[in-house]
């Protein structure tokens, strides 16, 4: 079967890498892909949000299944587009339809879903222009810091946390005034939760689900969780505090009620659900849902899946996921992200990357790379994710860092302390 993976990051390279190990797949296409995905198949230079272009590629290349990496095409309704097109409707799209993708596409929808189904989350209220005057009263009822979120997708920049009440109210007003365009037509203000974050993933066919390995992501650019937020600078899986006791709470308080809630709300969710959780004194709370896998979490969790990922995906498409088995590798996988100097601010592209052939006992997932006449060059802020296995977290980290140091390009940067907070003191 020919399969198409939409997206161009490290997550998509990890999906392509894993699917390429399946005997049931004959051809892999990535759109637009990167230099890493091109080693496993064919990159198609198209925008995943241009559904007509996706349709043409699917028909031209006799693609029989589509796996959607990022959230934007899901929230824009790519699944619905396939279902409503007579040429495409028999081709499964792995990823939720537009209604189900609201779990990520609208924070107001996600919060009301959480509250309606009694799933632990920070208390909140939503505001629009018509009731913005009440936002100040609500802010005053909370203790700082204040968490302010644009309702819609805002390229990962829509969450602002501020200590000052007046600044928080100004932020609400500027979001409602269009700071993030239509994503800010509604604004969610919520209680600040203090704890350690955890990324939990399931794959579901709408009836049953399989739990995938969990991970911890390091979002800040600087060592010790300092500096600006990024897309994620590294990940560790498994996460030591997510032991059986904690994960039992995650399943009984969060995952099962989410599945039941979707069913009660008559939402059929097919694809991955990413539960962004926070551990508050041993109790899990939902910070957010995402309608996809995480990046860089995928670069740590996918190498821990021993089963055929295509078999699981086929279970989603055919609605028989319940009959499938998932086996995971007990070893640690750590992933260290190599970024362009200056990221997440401005940075240069087009730097020639050397040392990629000089690595061992790791897998290098490409993110912002492309092929040029000079070889592999940088084309984004996050460039490469170096994933290594180990019996211990430290052994995996040693592998990731040893190999990261063998790679070079002008002004490259990586965080030196991935996993620092999970190590036994
Ligand atoms: P989100 O885009 O919803 O993932 O939010 C981005 C980041 O903001 C999260 O990863 C958390 O670090 C932080 N955050 C969001 N909501 C809260 C909250 N209620 N309490 C504390 N931190 C939060
Ligand atoms: N690593 C966080 C995300 O993918 O949203």
Distances (CA, A) of 106 to 86, 112, 224, 236, 391: 29, 10, 31, 28, 40
Nearest listed ligand to the Cα of residue 71 = 2
**Is the C-beta atom of 104 inside 6 A of ligand 1?**
no
3-class DSSP assignment, residue 342: coil
CA distance 50 to 53: 5
425 pLDDT band, cuts 50/70/90, is: low
Sign of the four-CA dihedral 113, 116, 117, 119: positive
Q: Band the pLDDT of 299: cuts 50, 70, 90.
A: very high
Mean pLDDT, residues 296-317 taken together: 98
Tokens for 348? 């240069």
User: Residues 20-69: pLDDT tens digits?
Assistant: 999 999 999 999 999 999 999 999 999 999 999 999 999 999 999 999 99
Take atom 2 of ligand 2 and give the residue whose Cα is closest: 294
Tokens of 62: 């006799």
Domain ranges for the chain, please list them. 2-94, 123-190
Residue 7 CB neighbour total at 10 angstroms: 27
pLDDT in tens, 61-113: 999 999 999 999 999 999 999 999 999 999 999 999 999 999 999 999 999 99
What are phi and psi for residue 53, nearest 5 degrees? -70, -40
DSSP per-residue letters across 19-71: HTT-TT--EEEEEE--TTGGGTSEE----TT-HHHHHHHHHHTT--EEEE-SH
Q: How many residues does the chain have?
A: 425
Helix intervals (H) in 131-255: 133-141, 165-176, 244-249
**Which of 217, 218, 301, 415 should be mutated for ligand 2, with most atoms under 8 A from CB?**
217
**Alpha helix ranges (H) inside 117-180:** 133-141, 165-176
Rounded to a whole number of angstroms, the distance between the first and last alpha carbons of the chain is: 49
Q: What is the pLDDT of residue 97?
A: 98
DSSP assigned state of 168? H
Beta-bridge mates of residue 337: 385
Interval 110-123: pLDDT, tens = 999 999 999 999 99
165-174, 288-297, 311-320, 333-342: the lowest-pLDDT one:
165-174
Q: What is the mean pLDDT of residues 364-371?
A: 97
- CATH topology of 2-94 equal to that of 123-190? no
Q: Is the pLDDT of residue 424 over 90?
A: no
**Which tokens in the block code for residue 335?**
């992933």
> What are the C-alpha distances in Å from 423 to residues 200, 392, 394, 397?
20, 10, 8, 11
CATH fold of 123-190: Dna Ligase; domain 1 (3.30.1490)
| Ligand 2 center–CA 383 separation, angstroms | 16
CATH of span 2-94: 3.40.50.20
Closest ligand 1 atom number to CA of residue 156: 2
């Amino acid at each position: 079967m020919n399969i198409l993976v939409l997206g161009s990051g490290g997550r998509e390279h990890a999906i392509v890498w894993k699917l390429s190990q399946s005997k049931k797949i004959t051809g892999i296409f990535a759109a637009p892909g990167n230099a890493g995905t091109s080693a496993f198949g064919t990159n198609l230079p198209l925008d995943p949000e241009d559904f007509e272009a996706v349709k043409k590629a699917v028909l031209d290349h006799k693609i029989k299944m589509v796996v959607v990496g990022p959230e934007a095409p899901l929230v824009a309704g790519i699944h619905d587009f396939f279902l409503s097109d007579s040429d495409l409707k028999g081709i499964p799209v792995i990823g939720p339809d537009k209604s189900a993708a609201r779990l990520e596409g609208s924070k107001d929808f996600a919060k009301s879903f959480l509250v309606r189904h009694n799933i632990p989350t920070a208390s909140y209220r939503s505001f629009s222009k018509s009731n913005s005057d009440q936002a100040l009263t609500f802010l005053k009822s909370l203790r700082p810091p204040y968490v302010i979120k644009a309702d819609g997708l805002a390229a990962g920049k829509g969450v602002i946390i501020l200590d000052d009440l007046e600044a928080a109210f100004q932020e609400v007003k500027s979001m409602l005034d269009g700071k993030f365009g239509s994503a800010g037509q509604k604004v969610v203000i919520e209680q600040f939760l203090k704890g350690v974050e955890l990324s939990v993933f399931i794959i579901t066919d709408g009836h049953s689900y399989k739990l995938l390995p969990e991970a911890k992501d390091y979002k800040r650019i600087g060592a010790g969780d300092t500096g600006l937020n990024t897309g994620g600078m590294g990940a560790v899986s498994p996460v030591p505090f997510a032991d059986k006791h904690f994960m039992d709470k995650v399943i009984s308080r969060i995952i099962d009620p989410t599945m039941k809630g979707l069913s009660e709300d008559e939402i059929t969710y097919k694809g991955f659900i990413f539960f962004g959780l926070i551990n508050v004194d041993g109790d899990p709370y939902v910070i957010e849902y995402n309608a996809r896998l995480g990046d860089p979490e995928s670069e740590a969790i996918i190498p821990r899946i021993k089963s055929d990922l295509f078999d699981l995906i086929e279970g989603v498409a055919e609605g028989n996921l319940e009959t499938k088995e998932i086996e995971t590798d007990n070893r640690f996988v750590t992933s260290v992200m190599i970024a362009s100097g200056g990221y997440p601010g401005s940075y240069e592209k087009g730097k020639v990357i050397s040392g990629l052939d000089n690595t061992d006992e790791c897998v290098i997932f490409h993110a912002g790379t492309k092929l040029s006449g000079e070889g592999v060059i940088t084309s984004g802020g996050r460039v490469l994710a170096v994933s290594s296995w180990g019996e211990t977290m430290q052994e995996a980290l040693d592998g990731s860092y040893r190999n990261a140091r063998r790679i070079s390009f002008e002004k490259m940067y990586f965080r030196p302390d991935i996993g620092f907070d999970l190590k036994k003191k």
